[in-house]
Amino acid sequence: MITQLNTDRTLNSKAPAAQPSPVLEYLQQLHTEFAPVKDGKVATYIPELAKANPDWFGISLVTTNGTSYEVGDSRQQFTIQSISKPFVYGLALEDHGRPHVISKVGMEPTGDAFNSISLEPGTGRPRNPMINAGAIATSSLVVGKTAQGRLRRVVEMMSRYAGRDLSLDNEVYRSESETGHRNRAIGHMLRNFDILTTDPIPSVELYFKQCSVSVTAHDLAVMAATLANRGVNPITKQQAIRGEYVESVLSVMGSCGMYDYAGEWIYTIGMPAKSGVAGGIIAVLPGQLGVAVFSPPLDARGNSVRGIKVCDALSRHCDLHILNRPNPGETAIRLKCTGAELSSNRIRTPEESQVLHQGGSRIHLYQLQGNLHFATAETIVHDVMSNLDGIQHLILDFKKVLTVNESACRLLHEVLLKFAALDRIILFTHADHLPLLRRYMKVKLGTRYSELFRSVPENDLALEWSENRIIESSLPTRKDDRPVTRGHYELFKNFSANDLIAIAPLLQRRTYQQGETIINAGDDADELYFLARGGVSVFVPLEGGGRKRLATFTRGMVFGEMAVIDRAPRSAMIVADTEVTCDVLSTANFDGLGTTHPELKIKLLENLCLVLCRRLRMVNRKLSVFD
């Protein structure tokens, strides 16, 4: 018996060896609990299946994040049998689209057994694709020039789901084909009703072959997890079926997958499922996980006895019923704050800070997260609309958003139009990983796209842009790029005219071109800069490439002040945002001041303490937003 933790998702493979996951241990408990169950009989209608060992018992669970758990005989090969039906149905949907497939096969549960013929009176349409008649009709829809080509497409499709190359168990196929008279009868009946329009035998043979594909419980769990993951194999990341058809596949599994046990199955276990006569069974919890059990002994309805017991226990213990979903609350809104609480990294003058202390509350930042669909987008839109009076600038941050669907795009688009009509502004940040959002807006906004869809790389820039609008509307425009006089330097506050004269010889005037690097990380810290004209920004490199702005300073402010405090090498890079004029004080001159003009040095240090305190307060205020 194999008991293993598959570490597909585990980057650090050394960790779990000694400490198996609690999930794995739980599956092991289920295995131990149900292994002694001896009810049920191995299928004997074909000799090959009768050879199965009734003690074989494997369980596998795979999450949509690609984590895989398996216990027992989870790597024992067996034939997929009827579990092939939903997968081939998905292929038929991809080949022909829903309307044509539905015209050939219905989707109503019958309450009848798996091999019942159950054709719709009049049309002869099989009631659903999970009974044999419907499955044969479905197989006939698989596109391909030759019988071989059609089979290859079926096996390749299943292999994409399983994440490995699957192949046929030819013994089982021959056995099936030799004894499959009832299915041939069904084929001819379908031909009679023109559900099949050509010789039915190749489709019946294809059906026998798809049922003979050899899999393990682990394969089936990956296949089920692929259905749970909207058609994307969560381990290989390969698309096995177009996402739009997954709900149809799961629907027929949910309503008809367990034959005449389907209603009770959904009632008690509550996951779309499918079983096969070789003893396999799969169950899917959409968005979350796939489960597979393999145990050959079957009950009277043809479902694996241990398989049903494991699924039932799993569903009850782990609350996996699909209709038992908790209210996500307003989790789509990760964080909400105003521009008065969280400011940009542009360091503001006391006068500007005063304006933003009031006006910043008209900037609202919503950090969104998770999957945005109708219900989650509704909570966002409802919240925004309820606060509409107070919002002048709305920043929607998509950094933590995993997906956006079209109905969420529609609601956001409507809010965009409403804001535009009120002369208010929405800024989108971190939206680059959501092309659907951009595409949707492009199509819907048309010529107004570039005017209304303001996509900004990060919140810092969006906040700064919004702050600038608010400052411009409140303070008289002073687009003045003359140098400030030294008396305006924040570190020279309370300096007398004599003080300014005394310090002048110690300062060296310097200019930098726009984009020029003033300080490099790692440089010796031996100068302090007073910004007379222009602006500079402080950057640190980001791990994933690019750089992050820590601060932007404008005229009158000091930068590089750590030179006179701890004298450690420079920790960040400082670049001129514009043409820049500075007065530079060397640490040597700063030190000398203590002897020549101690009162000046005291004033400088007191002013520096004040500047540091102001920054400490700003950072503390930002920190409290996240608390």
The residues in 529-548 that bind its own copies, with binding defined as CB under 8 A, are 548
Nearer to its own copies, 264 or 516 (CB): 264
* Binding residues among 174-203 for its own copies as defined by CB under 8 A: none
Which tokens in the block code for residue 54?
């009734």
Stretch that binds its own copies, among 86-94, 372-380, 462-470, 500-508 (CB under 8 A): 372-380
Q: Is 277 a catalytic residue?
A: yes
Cα atoms in the 13 Å half-sphere on the side-chain side of 362: 17
Q: Which of residues 16-45 bind its own copies (CB under 8 A)?
A: 16, 19, 21-23, 25-26
- CA 600 from chain centre, in angstroms, equals 58
Which one of the listed residues 69, 161, 259, 529 is annotated catalytic? 259
Nearer Cβ to its own copies, position 151 or 291? 291
From candidates 327, 447, 494, 513, binder to its own copies by CB under 8 A: 327
Least separation in angstroms between residue 16's CB and its own copies is 5
Looking at beta carbons only, is 93 or 190 nearer to its own copies?
A: 93
Are 206 and 150 in contact by the 8 Å Cβ rule? The answer is: yes
Q: How far apart are CA 176 and CA 212, in angstroms?
A: 8
Q: In the complex with its own copies, which residue's Cβ is closer, 121 or 446?
A: 121
CB of 520 to its own copies, least distance (A): 20
CA distance 593 to 505: 12
Structure-token match 């006006």, residue found: 359
User: Is there binding between residue 117 and its own copies (CB under 8 A)?
Assistant: no
Which of 184, 373 has the CB closer to its own copies? 373
Rounded to whole angstroms, the Cα distance separating 21 from 15 reads: 10
Rule CB under 8 A: choose which of 179, 361, 379, 589 binds its own copies: 379
Residues 496 to 535 in contact with its own copies, rule: CB under 8 A: none
Which amino acid is residue 197, in one-letter code? T
Residues 235, 62 contacting (CB under 8 angstroms): yes
Contact set for its own copies, span 539-598 (CB under 8 A): 548, 550, 562, 564-566, 594, 598
d(CA 565, CA 627): 30
| Closest listed residue to residue 265, CA positions, set 342, 571, 273 | 273
Using CB under 8 A as the binding rule, whether residue 450 contacts its own copies is answered as: no
Query: Does 108 interact with its own copies (rule: CB under 8 A)?
Result: yes
Which of 198, 324, 477, 513 binds its own copies (CB under 8 A)? It is 324
Q: Indicate which residue of 89, 207, 261, 489 is catalytic.
A: 207
> Is 427:395 a contact under the CB 8 Å cutoff?
yes
User: Quick check: 441 binds its own copies (CB under 8 A)?
Assistant: no
Q: CB of 369: closest distance to its own copies in angstroms?
A: 7
Binding segment for its own copies (CB under 8 A), chosen from 30-38, 84-92, 292-300, 330-338, is 330-338
Query: Min. distance of Cβ 393 from its own copies in angstroms?
Result: 17
Q: Does 312 bind its own copies (CB under 8 A)?
A: no
Distance in Å from the first CA to the final CA of the chain: 49
- Closer to its own copies by CB, 50 or 422: give it: 422
Residue type, 231: G
Q: Classify 426 as helix, strand or coil.
A: strand
* Minimum CB–partner distance for residue 318 and its own copies (Å): 4
Which of 117, 608 has the CB closer to its own copies? 608
Question: What x-and-dash track marks residues 257-296 binding its own copies by CB under 8 A?
Answer: ---x-xxx-xx--x-x------------xxxxx-------
Residue 229 beta carbon to its own copies: minimum distance, rounded to whole angstroms: 6
Contact with its own copies (CB under 8 A): which of 46, 52, 60, 67? 67
* The two three-digit tokens of residue 84, written as one number: 């092939």
- The per-residue DSSP string of 160-223 comes to HHHTS--EE-HHHHHHHHHH-HHHHHHHHHHHHTTSS-S-HHHHHHHHHHHHTEEE-HHHHHHH
Choose, by CB under 8 A, the member of 63, 76, 140, 537 that binds its own copies.
63
Which of 96, 174, 373, 493 contacts its own copies by CB under 8 A? 373
CB of 284 to its own copies, least distance (A): 8
- The DSSP code sequence of 502-515 is HHGGGEEEEEE-TT
Taking the CB of residue 369, how many other CB atoms lie within 10 A of it? 17
Q: 484-490, long-range: CB within 8 Å, 24+ apart, which pairs?
A: 484/532, 484/533, 484/555, 484/556, 486/530, 486/532, 486/583, 488/555, 488/556, 489/530, 489/556, 489/557, 489/558, 489/583, 490/556, 490/557, 490/558, 490/607, 490/611
* Contact string (CB under 8 A) for its own copies, positions 126-145, x = contact: -xx-----------------
Q: Using the structure block, give the residue that is written with the tokens 């966002």.
A: 380
Q: Which is nearer to its own copies, 213 or 380 (CB)?
A: 380
Looking at 64-72, 131-139, 156-164, 187-195, which segment touches its own copies (CB under 8 A)? 64-72
Could you confirm whether 26 is annotated as catalytic? Answer: no
Binding residue for its own copies, selected from 375, 436, 443, 588, defined by CB under 8 A = 375
CA distances from 489 to 486, 495, 617 (A): 5, 10, 20
Q: Which of 277, 291, 293, 310 is catalytic?
A: 277
User: In this structure, how many other beta carbons lie within 10 angstroms of the beta carbon of residue 452?
Assistant: 16
The structure tokens listed for 118 are 């159950």
**Residue 59, strand partner residues:** 71, 293
Write out the two tokens for 269.
Answer: 């276990």
Distance CA 616, CA 589 (A): 27
Q: Does 602 bind its own copies (CB under 8 A)?
A: yes
Report how far residue 69's alpha carbon sits from residue 294's, in angstroms, rounded to the nearest whole number.
14
Q: Which of residues 231-260 bind its own copies (CB under 8 A)?
A: 234, 246-248, 250-252, 254-256, 260
From the list 60, 82, 315, 537, the catalytic residue is 82
85 in active site: yes
SS3 call for 621:
helix
Name which position in 96, 174, 184, 410 contacts its own copies (CB under 8 A). 410
Residues linked to residue 519 through DSSP beta bridges, in sequence order: 574
| Candidate ranges 45-53, 366-374, 480-488, 511-519; the one touching its own copies (CB under 8 A) | 366-374
Alpha helices in 475-597 (DSSP H): 497-503, 587-596
Number of residues in contact with its own copies under rule CB under 8 A: 119
328 touches its own copies (CB under 8 A):
yes
Options 60, 69, 71, 85, the catalytic residue: 85
Cβ of residue 264: shortest distance to its own copies, in angstroms? 6
**Contact region with its own copies (CB under 8 A), list: 37-45, 152-160, 375-383, 527-535:** 375-383
Give me the active site residues, please: 82, 85, 207, 259, 277
